[in-house]
């Protein structure tokens, strides 16, 4: 598992994950991903299009980051999961806790929306 970061429209941080979010993949990125996603208030889109597998430990990584941002008044949005990953997120009910969008652009728009608007 690896990830890259970029900035969308100068205000939203995009983190593109690539690989398997299983125990090995999550361990490979956990420390750096957690630092980037929970260290300060931010607007974050996590691009899941490159994630081919999502285990419970990967879900925990995403939930921890989402809670960290919510606690700081930031935004954390998931985008573009492959169908198998989307199925896992929906079955686990994560899509009810973290906004999930079909593509990066709609996720960016949700992350950029004013705080009084729904995500």
pLDDT in tens, 92-113: 999 999 999 999 999 999 999 8
32 in a structural domain? yes
Closest CA to 58 of 91, 34, 22: 22
What are the CA-CA distances from residue 87 to residues 60, 82, 83, 118 (Å)?
16, 9, 6, 23
CB 1 within 8 A of CB 13: no
Q: What is the pLDDT of residue 52?
A: 98
31 in a structural domain? yes
- Segment 43-71 shows an average pLDDT of 97
The CATH code of the domain that includes 69 is: 3.30.750.24
46 in a structural domain? yes
118 in a structural domain? no
- Residue 53 structural domain: 2-112
pLDDT in tens, 44-57: 999 999 999 999 99
CB 78 within 8 A of CB 111: no
Q: What is the count of structural domains for the chain?
A: 1
119 in a structural domain? no
- The angle at the Cα of 76, spanning 71 to 29, to the nearest 5 degrees, equals 100
117 in a structural domain? no
């Amino acid at each position: 598992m690896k990830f890259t970061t970029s900035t969308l429209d100068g205000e939203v941080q995009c983190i593109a994950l690539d690989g398997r979010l299983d125990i090995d993949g999550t361990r490979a990125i956990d420390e750096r991903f957690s630092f980037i996603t929970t260290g300060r208030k931010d607007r974050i889109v996590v691009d899941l299009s490159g994630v081919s597998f999502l285990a419970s430990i990967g879900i925990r990584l995403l939930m921890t980051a989402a809670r960290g941002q919510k606690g700081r008044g930031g935004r954390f949005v998931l985008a573009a999961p492959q169908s198998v990953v989307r199925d896992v997120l929906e079955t686990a009910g994560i899509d009810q806790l973290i906004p999930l969008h079909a593509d990066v652009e709609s996720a960016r728009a949700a992350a950029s929306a004013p705080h009084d608007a729904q995500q």
